[in-house]
Amino acid sequence: MASSIPNPSLTTIYTTLAALASILIVFVIFSFSTQPNCLRPNYVRVRTHDSLLPPDTTNISHLVFGLVGSTNAWHHRKSYIESWWRPNITRGYLYLDTAPTDDLLPWSEASPPFRISDNITTLFEESRHNGEPVMVRLIHAVIEIFRDEREDVRWYIMGDDDSIFFVDNLVDVLSKYDHTKYIYIGGHSESIAPNEILSYDMGFGGAGLIMSYPLAKMVQKNIEDCVRRYPQLKCADQTLMNCVNDFGVALTAHKGLHQMDLHGDVSGFLSSHPKVPLLSLHHFDQLDPIFPSMDRSESAKHLMKAANIDQPRLVQQTVCYDRQLNWTFSCSWGYSVHIYENIIPRSVLKAPLQTFKPWILESTPPLFIFDTRPLSNDPCATPHVFLFESIKIINETEVITNYVRVASRGLPACEIAGNHSADLINRIEVVSPMTKPKQDGKAECCDIVENKMDLVRLKLRDCMEDELIA
C-alpha cells in the first residue's frame, strides 16, 4: 500500500503520485513455476544447504506479489519491476488503472502479468473518502490479489510499480516466520517526519506490505468496511494499518524493507546498510541514480547483477584494516567500497554518511530514524569511494566483485595517521565465497590479500572467535 508524505516541492504528493501513477503500492504476487530448483543461468545463487532444509520450508512459489501501478507511469517504471521480476517464477500481478495502450502491447514477457483494477468509484463516493481515488484502488487491491491468487500462498507482498524487491532474501526472511499466524510485516519511513505525520506503527506501502495468508484473508474480507470506517485517512497504507490493528495485529518492522523516504544521493545509506538482508528499495524515481554514471533503470539492472548471484551478501557491510598504511576498508558487497586513510572502528562505520536529504526537505533535525555521520572535509574521516562495476563467478567456491573509483577525493592525505594517501588506488576486487554467510549473528570479516599501486584485493571470510573489528 502506498502512502506518501508530501514533499515540500510538491503541493500534494497524492496528486502527484496519482498523476504519475507512481503510488507506492504495488502488489506483486509471486507465483511460482512448477519446476523445482529452476536455476536459470541469470539467477545463479550462492549455495545454501537447501537439501538440509525441511521439505516444507517456504520457497519462492509461496510468495505472491500484488503491484499497483498505472498505465501512464508503466512506460518508465516497467524497467524497475522487470529488473527483479522472474517471468514464470515469481507469482503475482500488476494492477493497472486502465487498459494498456498500444505501445505497451504485446505485453512484455519480462513484466508481471497485468490486471485492470476493479472500479472502486462507488466505494470511494459512498465512503466519502478524503484522499484520492487511487488510494482506494490501492487498498482494494488486497481483495483483488486474494481473489486472483490463492492456492498454496503463504505470503502476500503488496508493492508499488517502483518497488524493487529482492526475492531470494524475502524467501529466506519469510521462511523464518510462521505463515499460519496473523503476521503484518513492513518498514518504517527513514525520515522522522513521515512517521510522525502518519504513524510509527505503520508499514509504509512502497517498501512492501507483507501479510501472512490468514491475515490477508481476514483483511480482504473486511477492507471495504475499513475504508468506510476511516474515510478521513488519506493514505492506503494508513488505512491498512488501522484495519489490521483493529483486529489486534501489530506491525513487525523489518529493517531491510526500504520505503526510501530520502532525497538525493543515497550512497551513504547503501554503504552502511543495517545488518539484515536487503528486502526492498522504493522511490527510485525520487532518488539520484544509485550509480551516478547510469540512469535509474540501468542502475536497478546493474545492482541486480550482484543480487542475482548473492542476495544474502548484497549491501552487507564488511570492515577490515591495512595496519601498515593505517587504512580502513568498508565494503558494502555488490554496491561500494570505501577507503579511509585512518583506523576507524566498525561501531562508527555502521552509521551511514549523510550524503542524502530527508523526505521533507525543510525538516529540522532530528531528521532520520537511524544514526548518521556528517559529511566533512576532514581527510581522516572522508572516504575514497568506489562503486560496483562487475561480478564474475570464478569457480564453484569463489565470486569476484569489482569496484572502481568514482572521483578523486580532492583532499590531502590524513596526516595524523601517517600521511598515507590512497589517491592512487583505482580499483578494488573483493573475493567472496559461493556459500551463504554464516548466520551466527556476526557480520563477516575480511583480509587484504593484495595492495598494489592501483589495485587492492580483499577477501571476505567468517570472523574468528573474539575478532575485533576496530
Stretch that binds ligand NAG, among 202-210, 268-276, 312-320, 389-397 (CB under 6 A): 389-397
Instruction: Give the interface size with ligand NAG as a residue count (CB under 6 A).
Output: 26
Q: Which is nearer to ligand NAG, 375 or 394 (CB)?
A: 394
Contact status: 15 vs ligand NAG (CB under 6 A): no
Closest CA to 329 of 384, 375, 265: 384
Which of the residues 313 through 332 are near ligand NAG (CB under 6 A)?
324, 326
Q: Which is nearer to ligand NAG, 56 or 178 (CB)?
A: 56
- 364, 377, 395, 408: residue in contact with ligand NAG (rule CB under 6 A): 395
Stretch that binds ligand NAG, among 239-247, 261-269, 279-287, 396-404 (CB under 6 A): 396-404
Q: Which is nearer to ligand NAG, 178 or 396 (CB)?
A: 396
In whole angstroms, give the CA distance from residue 220 to residue 205: 16
Half-sphere exposure of 55 (CA within 13 A, CB side): 0
In whole angstroms, give the CA distance from residue 204 to residue 185: 10
Spell out, one character per residue from 107 to 136, where the chain touches ligand NAG: x when CB under 6 A holds, - when not.
Answer: --x---------x-xx--------------
**Which set of grid coordinates corresponds to residue 363?**
525538516
Stretch that binds ligand NAG, among 156-164, 265-273, 360-368, 390-398 (CB under 6 A): 390-398
- Which residues, at least 6 apart from 337, have a Cβ–Cβ distance to it below 8 Å? 329, 330, 331, 386, 403, 428, 430, 458
Contact status: 397 vs ligand NAG (CB under 6 A): yes
402, β-bridge pairs:
390, 429
- 41, 54, 56, 128: residue in contact with ligand NAG (rule CB under 6 A): 56
Q: What is each CA distance from 112 to 159, 171, 354, in whole angstroms?
A: 13, 18, 35
Q: What is the dihedral of CA 46, 51, 52, 54, to 10 degrees?
A: 120
Minimum distance, C-beta of residue 256 to ligand NAG, in the bound complex (Å): 22
Which of the residues 410 through 439 are near ligand NAG (CB under 6 A)?
413, 415-419, 421
In whole angstroms, give the CA distance from residue 199 to residue 191: 12
Task: Indicate the residue whose CB is closest to ligand NAG.
Answer: 418
Minimum distance, C-beta of residue 69 to ligand NAG, in the bound complex (Å): 17
Q: Where are the alpha helices (DSSP H) in 21-132?
A: 71-82, 121-126
- 396, 440, 465, 466: residue in contact with ligand NAG (rule CB under 6 A): 396
- CA-based torsion, 125, 131, 136, 142: positive or negative: negative
Spell out, one character per residue from 19 to 38, where the chain touches ligand NAG: x when CB under 6 A holds, - when not.
Answer: -------------x---x--
Q: What is each CA distance from 336 to 39, 114, 184, 240, 270, in whole angstroms?
A: 27, 35, 32, 36, 8
Q: What is the dihedral of CA 116, 121, 122, 127, to 10 degrees?
A: 120
Interface residues toward ligand NAG, by CB under 6 A: 32, 36, 56, 59-61, 87-88, 109, 119, 121-122, 324, 326, 394-398, 413, 415-419, 421
